[in-house]
Amino acid sequence: MSQEGPGKLPFTPAAQTAFDKYDPHTDGDYTGACLPFGYLRSFNAPYPIEILQNPKKIAFLFEQNTWFHIAALDRAHPKDVNPTWFSDSVAKWDGDTLVIDTIGFNGKTRLDTVGHPHSDAMHVVQRLTRLDAQRLKMEITVEDPKIFTEPWKNTRVFALMKPGSELMEYSCEENNRDFTQGHIKRPAEQ
């Protein structure tokens, strides 16, 4: 399977070899087993995201699998971060831009549906800025010395949902047809 889309990521030689060999049809895609997409892959899902804020937290509510992620506005990262699927995020305002710093990845997810890997050493900085009343720009900087030879950036623009729209409940089922009909293979037990 080759990389799709513009640009090429600055993989280390070992990570490039592993990515070139990766095929979700034969290697198994963990998302088919209803496991969490992970933090960055959740932003790439084609489903809406709702953002809520209070003085201490920013919350991202992902329609995909009804997941959520919280970025703390009132604390630093813990000294001993417990690695998780969605990691640990802290945020601050830089003028009109929200800056989110994220560490503590468990390394069990992929960055996107193409299968770009990352490790538990990944560090992500997101900068969210309103472009106008209907659009939000997110610039993402990814550092991961185990996988990439240098940091890289990606910028996305999100459109607001239509007024009155709501997130819907989403349910991932263990009897996923992609498995039962052989489209993808179950991931190996870890």
- Residue 188: per-residue pLDDT: 65
Mean pLDDT computed over 167-177: 75
Whether the Cβ atoms of residue 118 and residue 83 lie closer than 8 Å to each other: no
Return the CATH number of the domain spanning residue range 37-161. 2.40.128
Residues 6+ apart with CB under 8 A from 52: 58, 59, 61
Least confident of 19-23, 150-154, 173-177: 173-177
Task: Please choose, from the candidates 154, 27, 36, 45, the residue with its C-alpha nearest in 3D space to the C-alpha of residue 106.
Answer: 36
Residues 6+ apart with CB under 8 A from 87: 39, 81, 102, 103, 104, 105, 106, 124
Mean pLDDT computed over 15-19: 93
State pLDDT tens for residues 48-105. 999 999 999 999 999 988 889 999 999 999 999 999 999 999 999 999 999 999 999 9
Q: Domain ranges for the chain, please list them.
A: 37-161
| Cα–Cα distance for residue pair 66/49, rounded to 1 Å | 10
- Average of per-residue pLDDT values in the chain: 87
Confidence check: pLDDT of 112 > 90: no
Whether the Cβ atoms of residue 170 and residue 64 lie closer than 8 Å to each other: yes
- Give the pairing type, strands 49-53 and 97-103: unpaired
| Cα–Cα distance for residue pair 163/170, rounded to 1 Å | 21
